[in-house]
Chains A and B, each alone.
Chain A
Amino acid sequence: GDSVTQMEGPVTLSEEAFLTINCTYTATGYPSLFWYVQYPGEGLQLLLKATKADDKGSNKGFEATYRKETTSFHLEKGSVQVSDSAVYFCALSDGAGSQGNLIFGKGTKLSVKP
């Protein structure tokens, strides 16, 4: 079945450091790919998404490119801030009657130190 694998955390960075969180997927169809973020004590919210190969999603300085050839959707940010400390989830939604159901990776906790 479909699955998402993302790098284990926690990840600890200093402010203004470069961030990469790796995400790879396995899917039978042509899924849409998402990054959700969960701030402490809150629910998940969409960070960015890409719905077809070579699409780049971007938001709040974060970017991720849908790479079909490597089945990846790595999250990057050039300069992280303390306020980016959160748990990041990579997810996919496959077509073919999936009813929009999301399959999530296990999450990567990011801590940014001043």
Chain B
Amino acid sequence: DAGITQSPRHKVTETGTPVTLRCHQTENHRYMYWYRQDPGHGLRLIHYSYGVKDTDKGEVSDGYSVSRSKTEDFLLTLESATSSQTSVYFCAISDRGDEFETQYFGPGTRLLVL
């Protein structure tokens, strides 16, 4: 199994509260991704990173920001959480970031915004 951990695994928070989710990898992969999983939508890309301090937006980036100060860590921040951000969040990694490559997923973080 790829060495990917996510923290916290579960979180309950209130509307308007800032929340930071962490993804940590031990594979030294260059690319890291944040997805959200919602019923009826599959997984949708929020943001991704192609190197330290290099990030870009995905399909559903509004309301989210990311940071990557080290190869191994990719942080997802909800500046002011809303109920629509209740979801399961998955981090993924890949080495080359090309279309042929497998992405490896973390175990997920279940976030409930009340």
Contact = CB atoms under 8 A, between A and B. Distances in A.
Interface of A: 4, 31-32, 34, 36, 42-46, 49, 51, 89, 93-95, 98-102, 104-107
A32 B98 CA distance: 10
B44 interface: yes
Contacts, number: 65
Interface residues on B, range: 20 to 34
A96 B23 CA distance: 27
A104 B45 CA distance: 9
Interface of B: 4, 31, 33, 40-45, 48, 50, 56, 58, 90, 92, 94, 96-108
Contact of B56 (A32, A46, A99, A104): A99
B27 to A, nearest CB: 14
A4 B105 CA distance: 20
A94 B42 contact: no
